[in-house]
């Protein structure tokens, strides 16, 4: 059976708070490499190889635009559209924006709607189910994928299967909220219930038609937000004021629970939404003691435990059923039975106006990254990496001076009215209030140490005059 999907839609706007401290607001789980070298977004893109159709539409938060663009570049994906949501409004508006964008030139493609943060182990089975869903979508059905359940799971919503259609699909009888343990066991035993995957196939016009029927305010707001938006380099910026006025709702609540066009195709492909650390533990390889260890880890008398060490040695002795996650600025220790409550730690960090739930010590920028390796009263030390050919904005600071020491590579420095080259083991000084910029004119990454000193060292003490990434 040929696969006839025209336009993949990848929703990359989640926050992944239950995977803290690895997943944070500025780099949530869809952009992380949790399984193997590639990020979850990149693995989702790889899953599309072999499906005929146009390049994907990526929908992400505005603050993640350069992360998404860089991971697309690394995956050699060309021609993708990146729609930037100024705020989150759930999946129904996000897919409406994508559908309207896909129809902009008069096309009416089949849309394959995927989340960027799901794991599917059997790609062949996934693509076969997509081909079945496409046949039903060509008949103006709104197709969702029901995951064949492997346990009485209380963390997922369910779909009750109705009468068969097309020889391989079924009408949706009803959608069910996350059940308690007793109801989950009943659903599993009945054979009629499937996990709700949140993935869909439908024609763009059919989805918009049903959205207009049941939630016309969402469609009207999305039309206005897209029309009032603008292109910015490789991005499509959605108008903030119009989109903020849009009601927030999921596809299930807005359309699928109401329409008589909802059908389901079953999917048994090793699906996992990696919602929390226990889900990641379940899918990773384990040693003879049931442990999954990553990084510099010494485990003694340790059983059924996940340990991830990113920057230093982590040792465990005489423990079991734990999740231990170490990053450069935070350590999580949790019992596997309580990992769903990690989000409460995130809420406490937010309430205390801390930053550990927002950014990592390493912060990615379109030109490269920096790592805040030390900070004290009136000083901060950063290790800065600038990609070949990249340039930081032309900027100045009101409250801090900067000392730059080049460790490797070549720096082209603009310092007031002077421009000069700084090479390995050389340094330069940027006074407070001086307009300056930093560029890597070479063919290898530029590595330098920056020592900031002054009365205020926040990232918001940046006045940009010129920026090739549109951040002025």
What are the pLDDT tens digits along the chain (472 aa)? 444 568 999 999 888 899 999 999 999 999 999 988 999 999 999 999 988 778 899 999 988 998 999 999 999 998 899 999 999 999 999 999 999 999 988 889 999 999 999 999 999 999 999 999 999 999 999 999 999 999 998 889 999 999 999 888 999 999 999 999 999 999 999 999 999 999 999 999 999 999 999 999 999 999 999 999 998 777 999 999 999 999 999 999 999 999 999 999 999 999 998 889 999 999 999 999 999 999 999 999 999 999 999 999 999 999 999 999 999 999 999 999 999 999 999 999 999 999 999 999 988 899 999 999 999 999 999 999 999 999 999 999 999 999 999 999 999 999 999 999 999 999 999 999 999 999 999 999 999 999 999 999 998 999 999 998 877 7
Q: Which domains does the chain have, with CATH numbers?
A: 7-272 (3.90.550.10), 287-347 (no CATH), 362-466 (2.60.120.10)
pTM: 0.89
- Nearest CA among 41, 26, 19, 28 for reference residue 274: 19
Strands 411-415 and 7-12 come out as: unpaired
The pLDDT, as a whole number, for residue 144 is 97
């Amino acid at each position: 059976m040929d696969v006839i999907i025209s336009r993949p839609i990848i929703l990359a706007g989640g926050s992944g708070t239950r995977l803290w401290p690895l997943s944070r607001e500025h780099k949530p789980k869809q952009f992380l490499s949790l399984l193997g070298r590639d990020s979850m977004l990149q693995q989702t893109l790889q899953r599309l190889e072999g499906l005929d159709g146009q390049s994907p539409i990526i929908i992400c938060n505005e603050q993640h635009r350069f992360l998404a663009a860089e991971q697309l570049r690394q995956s050699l994906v060309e021609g993708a559209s990146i729609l930037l949501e100024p705020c989150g409004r759930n999946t129904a508006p996000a897919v409406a924006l994508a559908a309207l964008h896909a129809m902009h030139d008069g096309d009416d493609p089949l849309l394959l709607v995927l989340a960027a943060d799901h794991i599917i182990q059997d790609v062949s089975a996934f693509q076969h189910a997509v081909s079945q869903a496409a046949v039903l979508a060509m008949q103006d059905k709104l197709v969702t994928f029901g995951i064949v359940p492997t346990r009485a799971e209380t963390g997922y919503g369910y779909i009750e299967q109705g009468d068969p259609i097309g020889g391989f699909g079924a009408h949706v009888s009803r959608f069910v909220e996350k059940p308690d343990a007793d109801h989950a066991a009943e659903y599993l035993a009945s054979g009629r219930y499937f996990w709700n995957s949140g993935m869909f196939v439908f024609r763009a016009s059919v989805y918009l038609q049903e959205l207009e029927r049941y939630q016309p305010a969402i469609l009207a707001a999305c039309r206005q937000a897209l029309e009032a938006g603008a292109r910015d380099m490789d991005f499509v910026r959605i108008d903030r004021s119009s989109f903020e006025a849009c009601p927030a709702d999921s596809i299930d609540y807005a359309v699928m629970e109401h329409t008589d066009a909802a059908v389901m195709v079953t999917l048994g492909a090793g699906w996992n939404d990696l919602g929390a650390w226990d889900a990641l533990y379940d899918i990773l390889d384990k040693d003879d003691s049931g442990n999954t260890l990553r990084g510099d880890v010494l485990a003694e008398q340790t059983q059924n435990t996940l340990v991830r060490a990113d920057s230093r040695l982590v040792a465990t002795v005489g423990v079991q059923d734990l999740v231990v996650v170490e990053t450069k600025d935070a350590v999580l220790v949790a019992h596997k039975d309580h990992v769903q409550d990690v989000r409460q730690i995130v809420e406490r960090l937010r309430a205390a106006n801390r930053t550990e739930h927002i950014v990592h010590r390493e912060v990615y920028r379109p030109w490269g990254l920096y790592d805040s390796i030390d900070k004290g009263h009136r000083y901060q030390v950063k290790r800065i990496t600038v990609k070949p050919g990249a340039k930081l904005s032309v900027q100045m600071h009101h409250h801090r001076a900067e000392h730059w020491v080049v460790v490797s590579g070549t720096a082209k420095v603009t310092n007031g009215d002077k421009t000069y080259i700084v090479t390995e083991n050389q340094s330069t000084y940027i006074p407070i209030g001086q307009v300056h910029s930093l560029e890597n004119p070479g063919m290898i990454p530029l590595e330098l140490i920056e020592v900031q000193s002054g009365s205020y060292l926040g990232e918001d003490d940046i006045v940009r005059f010129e920026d090739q990434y549109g951040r002025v």
